[in-house]
Amino acid sequence: MSRFSNKVVVVTGASGGIGRAASLRFASEGASIVAVDMNEETLGETVNLVEEAGGKAHGVIADVTVSSEVENYVNQATDVFGGVDVLFNNAGIEGHVAPLESYDEEIFDKVLQVNVKGVWLGMRYVVDALRLRGGGNIVNTASGAGLMATPTLVAYGASKHAVIGMTKTAAVELAPAGIRVNAVCPGVVNTRMIRSIEEMSIPEDPEEYTKLTNERVPLGRYAEPEEVAGLVAFLASDEAAYITGSCYLIDGGIILS
């Protein structure tokens, strides 16, 4: 029997590399997917990919910083599939690359709204649905940037430190309800986000950023989204039944270098 048979998994940021890979991974293991994103076109692509692979998926367009829209995606999961068993709280943005003294205030606020408030709202509104199932799992996307200094990415780094803090707090608060809360901390992953950071960091030669970064990674390469999705699925599965409040690095060893 598949690990997620008869389970309902909500994935935010489902249009992006990690979110799409996670949607496909959970569906391949039997889950029904509620895919959440702001981009209607790319969200539709994720839903189609899940369905083409034989899975069940329902797309919801939502801004994760708006309470009513977060509440709506949880309600739609219940209306369409009967409940929620797992929330993969994955939506996030990178902001821009700049020294802290010249970092744009509006961008700073936006990064914290999406990456911090969005994660908090997801947890806030899914808790009752998880309680109705007798418990469940939340996996938040943090980052290696939440465990180390991130020069020129002050808002992103701050937001991911906050996600780790919220994960630990939620794990303790929700444990009596049978709800486990963990975080994944990816390093550099082969997604749109890292392409954006490459271009902002070395506009004249983004590939040089890739080269320099890979030289810092002991395993010598970026992660693939599917590798992160595998860790997410493990943490949301019964195999991780005694794991909560943990933040799992999946960074090729870059934090050690």
Residue type, 72: N
Distance CA 112, CA 106 (A): 10
| Residue 36 vs residues 15, 41, 60, 112, 125: alpha-carbon distances, Å | 8, 12, 5, 19, 14
Nearest Cα residue to 57 out of 43, 67, 70: 43
Which stretches of 13-118 are assigned E, i.e. beta strand?
A: 32-37, 56-61, 86-89
156 is catalytic: yes
Residues sharing a CB contact under 8 Å with residue 101, sequence separation 6 or more, in sequence order: none
The active-site residue out of 73, 125, 156, 222 is 156
Q: How many CA atoms lie within 13 A of 233 on its CB side?
A: 26
Residues sharing a CB contact under 8 Å with residue 72, sequence separation 6 or more, in sequence order: 60, 62
Asked if residue 186 lies in contact with residue 143, where contact means CB atoms within 8 angstroms, the answer is yes
- For 12-51, b/e burial (b = at least 16 CB within 10 A) is bbbbbbbbbbbbbbbbbbbbbbbbbbbeeebbebbbebbe
Catalytically active residues are 156
